[in-house]
Each structure stands twice: as C-alpha cells, then as structure tokens.
Amino acid sequence: MTAVGCVVLVGGGPGDPELITARGSALLNKADVVVTDRLAPRGLLDDLAEGVEIIDVGKHPGHHPVPQHEINRIIVDRALQGRRVVRLKGGDPFVFGRGQEEVEACEAACVPVEVVPGVTSAIAVPAAVGIPLTARGVAAAFTVATGHQDLGEMPGRGEHTLVLLMGVGGLSTHAAVLVSRGRSADTPVAIIEDGFGPRQRVTIGTLGTIAAIAASAGVRNPAVIVIGDVVNLYRRNTA
C-alpha cells in the first residue's frame, strides 16, 4: 500500500523570488509536485530538481480554466499517490487565496497539510514604492478588500486606508460608491501595477479622477490600489 504523501500551502510572497520565506523555499525545493498560481514567484520553478511535476492552475481576471474544486482534487490526488505536494501561491495562502478550502479538502481526505504564510502583496506592494498603510498622524488603521466586494460598508475617513485587490476592472464603480458613501472626491488614490515585476508602475489620482487617469494610462492587472491620505506620502517622497 502506498504511503500517503503531504500537501504544503506555500505563500510565495508578492512576486519577487527573494521574498518567499526561508521555510517556503526549503519545502518548495523538496517537492515532488508543484501546483502553481499565476502570481506565484515562478522564477523559483526554474531551479527545481529534474522530474518535479509542475501543474499550472493559474487564474486570470474573468478566466478560471481550472476551477477550485479541480485544484482541490489535484493536490489531494497527488498526495494520495505518496508524493510531496507544494501548492505555490502568490502572497499569503489565507489572504484571498482560498487556502482554507484547500486545507479542508486535504483534511477530508486524511492528507497531512501544512500552511506556510507568505508576505501579502496588499502590504508589500505599497511598501515597495514608499507608501505605508499606516503612519503616525496620517492613518492608524487599514482595510483590505477585493474588487468583488461592496465597498459601501468600508470605513469612510481618509485616515483609514483602504487597500483594494483585483479592483482595476471596476475602478470607476468603486470610486463612485466610495464617494457616495462619504469619502471625499479629493481622497488620494495610488495604483501600483505589477509590484516587484518588470513593469512596476504607479499611477496617482483622486477618487474623483482616478478612473479617467487609469483608463488613459492603460492601467491593468495585477495591481494594488491604495485609497487614503497615506498616498500623499508617496507624493512627498518622489517630489
């Protein structure tokens, strides 16, 4: 009888291969199978040992060729074959990464599973361009949301930073909703595209102007959107 293998959900960090954790890197290099996302640090895959099976289950906005239930099946199936499976994700597995669903699938199949946290892009990408999410006298808290959520219930003050992931497609609607629910149209906004990647770029505007500015600039995913007074710190740092 074949011994059951294991599954490790590894947070690969915000994209730079050097920002994966030491434990994540060590376990990745011991893997027999790597099931990778689109935004995982794919440069690390080039250094894997010969014979490691690499399965690409990456999702694009509006295009999910491998549905989540099939991803769950793949990682459980390979582990039940006695193999060490690394589920390599961008950012952190438990920050909009559906990691809990994969943990539950493994537990239901009695497959040993471990979660290795990663540096989430929600914090790291703004930091990469000099935008802190909190700063003394500017912002004391932040909220992370996705572009699929109703933003109308988010805190409405400029000193509470809002970080929006997967929000480019609905930017105009999101901005209008936030203004209608009490945020000033003059609230600063920064969009950081391709954080830590070769086309990293920052686009600056306000809630009242950012949709038109982003459309004119051709802003596209992946991107992290920062809304709040902390964006003014980026302006000062780059003046």
Q: Does the annotation count 37 as an active-site position?
A: yes
d(CA 233, CA 127): 11
Q: Does the annotation count 59 as an active-site position?
A: yes
Tell me which of 32, 37, 92, 154 is the catalytic residue: 37
DSSP reduced 3-state for 215: helix
d(CA 236, CA 231): 9
Which among 56, 113, 57 is positioned nearest to 85, based on CA atoms?
113
Tell me which of 32, 89, 154, 166 is the catalytic residue: 166
d(CA 65, CA 193): 23
- Residue holding tokens 């102007």? 209
Q: Does the annotation count 150 as an active-site position?
A: no
The first and second tokens of residue 123, run together, are: 């914090």
C-alpha gyration radius of the chain? 19
Which among 82, 29, 43, 22 is positioned nearest to 196, based on CA atoms?
43
d(CA 218, CA 75): 37
Tell me which of 16, 56, 59, 194 is the catalytic residue: 59
Q: Catalytic residues, which ones?
A: 37, 59, 166
